[in-house]
Amino acid sequence: MKVAVTSVGTDLDSMIDERFGRSSYFIIADTDSDEFEVFENEGLSSAHGTGVQVAQFIAEKGVQAIITGKIGPNAVKILKESGIDVFIANSMTVRQALANFLEGKLEKISGATTGQHNK
């Protein structure tokens, strides 16, 4: 399974970036092979619609779940339409978030955790 995690850095020991659309990086981990890829958020400097752009990018990567701290309504809508589950994690590393995800310890959400245009 491919799981994306918002991150402030480029490795599994980086802290989760609690912002979805404004995350510095996205680490996409394959939980079957233990391999991961790192992507810089190219939409970070966009003035508007960043969450939607990021959600579309994540969907194009074949991700089945995303782990983040906060996410807005437009991004959640795109992810849900793409069949991607959203899980919330805060104040932990990417590695810890993935471990908690695999153990079923993260909260799965069905709606936004923040309003629009929240940075």
CATH numbers and ranges of domains, the chain: 2-109 (3.30.420.130)
What's the whole-number mean pLDDT along residues 11-22? 95
> At a CB cut-off of 8 Å and minimum separation 6, what does 73 contact?
111, 112, 115, 116
* Per-residue model confidence as pLDDT tens digits over 54-67: 999 999 999 999 99
What's the whole-number mean pLDDT along residues 72-89? 94
Say what the pLDDT of residue 117 is. Answer: 47
- pTM of this prediction? 0.91
Does 50 have pLDDT greater than 60? yes
* Per-residue model confidence as pLDDT tens digits over 94-103: 999 999 999 9
User: Alpha-carbon distance 30 to 65, whole Å?
Assistant: 11
* Angle formed at CA 21 by CA 84 and CA 85, multiple of 5 degrees: 15
The answer to whether 67 and 4 are in contact (CB under 8 A) is yes
